Amino acid sequence: MKSRLKHFTVLLVALALLTAGCAKAAGKSPLNPKEPVTVSMWHNFGGEMQTTIDALIDEFNSTVGREQGIIINVTAITSSAELQKSLNMIASGDPGAPAMPDIATAYPKTAILFQQKGMLANLDDYFTEEELAGYVPQFVEEGRIGDGLYVFPISKSTEILYLNQTLFDQFAVENQVTMECFSTFEGLADAAQKYYDWTDAKTPDVPNDGKAFYAADSWVNLAQAGMRQQGDSLFDAENLNLDGDSYRRIWEAVCPPAITGAFAIYDGYSSDLSKTGDLVCSTGSSAGILFYGDTITHPDGRVERVEYSILPFPVFEGGEKIAIQRGNGMMVSKSDRTHEYASAVFLRWFTAPEQNMRFIASTGYLPVSKEAFENRMETEIERVEDYRIKKMLVAVTEMYRDYQFFVAPVFEGFDSMSKAYEQDFKQRMVSLHEKWIVSDGEASLEKMTAEALREWRGR
Amino acid sequence: MVQDALALWKKIKAKGERGTTLYLRLFVFFAFFVVALVLAFLLILNIAGVFHIGIHKSQAWFENELEHLSQDISNDYGNLSVHGVNLSEKISKSMESYLKEARVAPSGLADHPELLEELLSLQMPDLLSALQNNKCGGAFLILDASVIPQAHMRQRAGLFLKRTEPNTVGTMGSKLHCLRGPANIARENSIELLGQWQMEFTGSETDFFSLAVETSRKRSELPLSRLYYWSPRRLLSGNSEAGMLLSVPLITSDGTVLGICGFEVSSMLFKQSYSPDNSVYARVFSVLAPVKESGLHMDGGLLAGNSYLNSALGGNIAVISEEDAPFNRYRSGEQGDYSGVQRTVRLYPAGSPYQEDIWAAAVMAPREDMQAAARKGILGLQLGIGVLCLLSLLAAAFVSRRYILPVLKTLEGIKNGSGYAALPKTQYQEINDLLEFLAAQDEAVSAALAEAKTGKTPASVGTERENLKPPDLDPEQYQRFLKCLETLSPAERRVFDLYVREYRAKDIAAELHLSMNTVKYHNGNIYGKLEVGSRKELLSYIRFMHCQQKREEEEHDEHLS
């Protein structure tokens, strides 16, 4: 009896030790496949990108998510601008602001608002140095705010020039303009004015109804790039730097065509104007390629097939080949270890080369992992089925060989300052254009430009 | 192998013929008792429905969610239908008025494409207002006409405004985009064009248009409130988000059907509005889908729940069976296996030409999740009962062992050749009596043998015994014994005195007219009070008493002489 009791006791102790050992081993991951954690996500990959992102999330939920106990639940898909607006509401604690999602796509300029309030998880706690070394370093650095990594690189882009080659060819033939005009902003401005005059002349009875040639999706990005190309910076210790010659050159290239109407000043994306043939070229995010179709629709309903070309971002004369590095990342809200850990698992999987390239092939963003970016691009470009994305990736890959890239500064007031710049600039240009129309060409363009700069600098 | 089995059976049988051990019998008895108790307990639990409590709880939860879901859908879709009818009346009136001013008959709209842009532009305020004031993902208006002459079979002019916002439906501050419609109208209203914008609707993407318009033309006697139509989920070409479309015909006062207008319930809106609480069942989801013979047509319905389900489930038909009562079992493709509940939802009023279209709201979850939840509650109970059973069996083994041990020791002692009288008392009266009886028998046999050997009677043997050397007792022990004698009760004393006179238990019973049980009872008390462990020990004291008595008599005689 005693020996049996002894055996039983030994067995019990062994079982207890085994259970404790298992629990300890499992303690590293707080996830439990039997009690999956739901991670809410907002993203801005809508439109044609949505099918791809939906499929990737479905795949994650059915595989890695199921194994580890994670469910990614997308609760909002909207444009980047709207997403940032809602996120700003949350950061400010506005009444009626929605609940903060666990993961959201965000730019560093928005993320900083959350980081300063301690509302973001530091992703350095969930990724080892070795893991982070697998990503393109400047992409990772862009997401660092203060002491940690708060915006994980997901999708990167730069700014390129979209050209309606069909419309341009029609114009270029009759006006001795060549593709060379797109290498500099000054050349582009010159071509724009010629285009405006050419289209205006088509309706001699109707003055000042020429068509715009060019628009920028972001005038502040254009100014930032222009300053960098000239070895300067638009921001000087968190203030706008508008006083020097560098900025004057930018102003003198952009303002006159904006006054005459050769440059379109438009509140929405330039692709909107392109769809209706109201624009020949525009600069915008390389990830916007899917917004440019292969047709334009005229007001009378005629649909015309067109071809687009993708060109590098223009450079101010004498300047360096420098362009902005764009693209948002994903920030993880500070909650509990389980949700944060689960979010990190998803980010790790989503940006792994295989998934990253599938995402790239149907969205037009650039890959963020070193392996994909440096070793697989050429092979993957061949496999891309959408000819628009293929064209864009070829152009951007070349840009990454020839250009240097800069990242927009990250400080608390940056977002509001850049929004104010954009809004004010557009309002002024619209107002100046109206004055120009009213003056019926009698006002001096140079004088108007110089006066406008004076007022602009004094605002 | 057969030979080995036969040999084993023979061994067991041979062992059985010798009888089972006391310990095993007792253990089996206890074990049987424990098992019977546990089975009775399980039966009671089963009758009380405790093992089905998990299923009942699940059922109550699902029914509750379904109740809310179907109620909300009925209310929301009903409201949209009502407001859709209102919108149609407003737009119809506005269009009729415009055409009247332009001196164009409503039936001649298709022949005047030059009027379309202005006509559409005039409807924007009503459309925007309806979009802002209703719980919908979009609002639209489609005309049976095109800006391209003679193209109105392939293309149709209209407007489609979509709401895109990042969170639960609110009507304030939502961003609008234009999916279809003249770009100028969008720009005039500061609405951006979606990436998939096209100016007009294509014929192939507007089959719902044809159905709604044709039905209204055929059933012109019906009021507008009976002519609205909810299309199954569909995706407009180039659009990334599918949705259900409410189509209400635009009818002028002369009965001309100009087109349709209505609202969209997009996939995202449905998800935001009707996702069930997933704190209990992580993968639960809601469905609104048309019901046909083979089940729920998920490819025509909308889902609300975790997004990973959409692509896996959305394109397949879920077959309903009632295997998992009280739940329905739904199968979708090879891998989809769900349990849930459903209820018919009325989207159409009585008299509607579409009332034969049956729609159902359902709440379901992966079958494995449901089964796990049902098992969860019982698992603890089963574990508890299992542990209880195990502990009971262990206790049975322990108690049996403890019970039997003294008996086994005594039997062991007997086997080792100890005399019955020398064996220690057990706690069991029957065993002690048996040992006493055996000890007495033992003495009788010894006496008979001695008589047979020497030819002396037991009495003489007893005398001789008296003349033997007195037992070696500690004087103090003897004095205690004498003192303890005083504690005997009169009845016990009578029995003791007869033992002193070398009476046997049987003789004592006859002498004192007592039953054997009574004698045994007194024996037990005597032994206890006199602090003796056995009859042998008692006899030792009695012999010592005799010796002391004889010595005292001898001393007395010497003194007298």
Q: pLDDT (tens digit, 9 = 90+) per residue, B33-53?
A: 777 787 787 777 777 766 666
Question: What global pTM score does this model have?
Answer: 0.73
A298-312, A355-369, B157-171, B496-510: which has the minimum mean pLDDT? B157-171
CA distances from B510 to A379, B434, B443 (A): 118, 20, 20
At what angle are helices A337-350 and A50-62 packed, to 10 degrees? Answer: 120
Nearest CB to A83 within list B166, B241, B372: B166
Contact B313, B303 (CB under 8 A): yes
A324: β partners: A406
Model pLDDT, residue A25 = 41
Q: Which residues 387-446 of B are in CB contact (within 8 Å) with A?
A: 394, 398, 401
* Backbone angle region of B157, left / alpha / beta, with phi > 0 → left and psi within -120 to 50 → alpha: beta
Does A214 score more than 90 pLDDT? yes
Report the range out of A253-267, A357-371, B382-396, B513-527 with the highest average pLDDT. Answer: A253-267
Shortest distance, CA A428 to any CA of chain B (angstroms) = 18
The answer to whether B166 contacts A71, with C-beta atoms less than 8 Å apart, is no
pLDDT, tens digit, 9 for 90 and up, residues B79-136: 999 999 999 999 999 999 999 999 999 999 999 999 999 999 999 999 999 998 999 9
The pair of structure tokens assigned to A235 is: 């921001």
Does A186 score more than 90 pLDDT? yes
Name the CA dihedral angle for A40, A46, A52, A56, rounded to a multiple of 10 degrees.
Answer: -10
Report the range out of A220-224, B35-39, B335-339 with the highest average pLDDT. Answer: A220-224
Model pLDDT, residue B167 = 46
Domain A37-156+327-405 sits in CATH at: 3.40.190.10
Model pLDDT, residue B495 = 93
Nearest CB to A58 within list B146, B151, B311: B311
Model pLDDT, residue A22 = 47
The answer to whether B167 contacts A269, with C-beta atoms less than 8 Å apart, is no
Q: Which of A231, A229, A230, A193 is nearest to A212 (CA)?
A: A193
* Best B240, B275, B303, B398 residue to mutate vs chain A (most A CBs within 10 Å): B240
Distance CA B76, CA B269 (A): 12
Question: What number is the average pLDDT over the span B12-18?
Answer: 61
Please determine, looking at this structure, whether the domain spanning A158-325+413-457 carries the CATH number 3.30.70.360: no
pLDDT, tens digit, 9 for 90 and up, residues A420-429: 999 999 999 9
Model pLDDT, residue B402 = 78
Can you name the CATH fold of B421-560? Arc Repressor Mutant, subunit A (1.10.10)
Q: Which of B106, B93, B242 is nearest to A50 (CA)?
A: B242
The pair of structure tokens assigned to A21 is: 């050992």
ipTM over 0.85: no
Question: Does B328 lie at the interface with A, CB-CB under 8 angstroms?
Answer: no
Model pLDDT, residue A27 = 43
Model pLDDT, residue B204 = 78
Contact A401, A388 (CB under 8 A): no
Does B515 score more than 80 pLDDT? yes
Distance CA B35, CA B29 (A): 10
Model pLDDT, residue B184 = 92
How do the domains of chain B map onto residue ranges?
A: 55-373, 421-560
Question: Does B310 lie at the interface with A, CB-CB under 8 angstroms?
Answer: yes
Model pLDDT, residue B138 = 92
Question: Does A302 lie at the interface with B, CB-CB under 8 angstroms?
Answer: yes
Shortest distance, CA A73 to any CA of chain B (angstroms) = 5
pLDDT, tens digit, 9 for 90 and up, residues B450-500: 666 565 554 554 444 444 455 567 888 888 999 999 999 999 999 999 998
Question: What number is the average pLDDT over the span B16-22?
Answer: 65
Search chain A and give the residue with CA nearest B313. Answer: A58
Q: Which of A232, A215, A238, A217 is nearest to A109 (CA)?
A: A238
What percentage of chain A has pLDDT greater than the value 90? 54
Does B25 score more than 90 pLDDT? no
What rounded mean pLDDT belongs to chain A?
88
Distance CA B288, CA B296 (A): 9
Range(s) of chain A covered by CATH 3.40.190.10: 37-156+327-405, 158-325+413-457
The pair of structure tokens assigned to B154 is: 């392939």
The answer to whether A98 contacts B200, with C-beta atoms less than 8 Å apart, is no
Confidence band for A453, pLDDT divided at 50, 70 and 90: very high
Does A418 score more than 50 pLDDT? yes
Distance CA B57, CA B50 (A): 11
Question: Does A162 lie at the interface with B, CB-CB under 8 angstroms?
Answer: no
Shortest distance, CA B255 to any CA of chain A (angstroms) = 29
Does B333 score more than 60 pLDDT? yes
For residue B148, the chain A residues in CB contact (below 8 A) are 300-302
Distance CA B15, CA B491 (A): 50
A50-64, A179-193, A270-284, B207-221: which has the minimum mean pLDDT? A50-64
* Best B112, B193, B309 residue to mutate vs chain A (most A CBs within 10 Å): B193
Does B316 score more than 80 pLDDT? no
Question: What number is the average pLDDT over the span A44-67?
Answer: 85
Report the range out of B317-326, B420-429, B547-556 with the highest average pLDDT. Answer: B547-556
What rounded mean pLDDT belongs to chain B?
83
Q: How many helices (H) and strands (E) does chain B have?
A: 16, 16
